[in-house]
Amino acid sequence: MSTFLFDQIIFGPVKSRRLGVSLGVNLLPTDSKVCSFDCIYCECGWTPRKREKKAVLPPRTLVRQKMEEKLKDMILNNEYPDVITFAGNGEPTLHPEFEGIIDDTIELRNQLTPNARIAVLSNATMLHKPGVVRALLKVEDNIQKLDSAFEETIRRIDCPNSNFKLEEVVENLKSFNGKVIIQTMFLKGNFKNEIIDNTTEAEVVEWMKLVAEIKPSQVMIYTIERDTPAAGLEKVRLDDLEKIAERVRAIGFEVQVSG
């Protein structure tokens, strides 16, 4: 199915289902994906297994320059972002200058668009790095992926690299002491002759247990919106997402649903 890559370091603004008017930041190459996951639902397509040459990431100085230019241009046009969102073509926390880039972003935000939040959409695989954690603790929306409480299901849906250990990820998420938002993609279908469904009773019950352990400030649940690299995947109905959300609200958590 058709997927796409973000062809700029700073992109948008776009209307985000979850975040509002979002100015996007892509810390990965503009011509290929770099990620520690290879999610079967990723709108950016598959993660390359082999590369002819090493991926080149935009340097911190260039990110700052492009962000400042875009924010000033938006202000001239009387446009103001609700949020500056780190997402793009893969996992933003893989960037070796991630902490410094977040510091630059906070400085520019405070100077130019002080009402904008800063959000990071991450798959939680780099939380063993102190600099990444320090940076995430500085932003308003520290959004971390948790698509299942079962490692086997995560391996089917998210296809993480070989050193992924769910138990370690959960412990790292708990270490934020609530200053974290958990984001979960619910989907169904078939991939490589295996049933894909993280909406079953067993899946939801165990996932809720992890949510209760992590104690996030908010939970975001959503489903497929755009084309996916894997065929045979299905959206989850909005009323089914709402049923899951009500169960999570019943145990004391704020939930945002995007169908």
Q: Is residue 2 part of a domain?
A: no
- Mind listing the pLDDT tens digit for each residue in 50-94? 766 788 899 999 999 999 999 999 999 999 999 999 999 999 999
- Which segments in the chain show pLDDT lower than 70? 1-2, 17-18, 51-52
Q: How many domains does the chain have?
A: 1
Look at residue 162 in the predicted model and tell me its pLDDT. Answer: 81
Q: Is residue 193 part of a domain?
A: yes
Q: Is residue 252 part of a domain?
A: yes
Look at residue 52 in the predicted model and tell me its pLDDT. Answer: 65
CA distance between the termini of the chain: 20
Q: Is residue 245 part of a domain?
A: yes
Cα angle, residue 149 at apex, residues 227 and 243 outer, rounded to 5°? 65
- Mind listing the pLDDT tens digit for each residue in 163-191? 999 999 999 999 999 999 999 999 999 99
Q: What is the CATH number of the domain that holds 111?
A: 3.20.20.70
- CA 200 → CA 42, 136, 205, distances in Å? 22, 32, 9
Judging by DSSP bridges, how do beta strands 188-191 and 233-234 pair with one another? antiparallel
- Domain of residue 17 covers 10-258
Q: Is residue 25 part of a domain?
A: yes
Cβ contact 43:89 at 8 Å: no
Give the Cβ contact number of residue 70 at 10 Å. Answer: 24
Quote the pTM value.
0.95
Q: What is the DSSP code string of 96-113?
A: TTHHHHHHHHHHHHHHH-
Q: Which residue has the tokens 């260039």?
A: 62
Q: Is residue 128 part of a domain?
A: yes
Q: Is residue 59 part of a domain?
A: yes
Q: Is residue 40 part of a domain?
A: yes
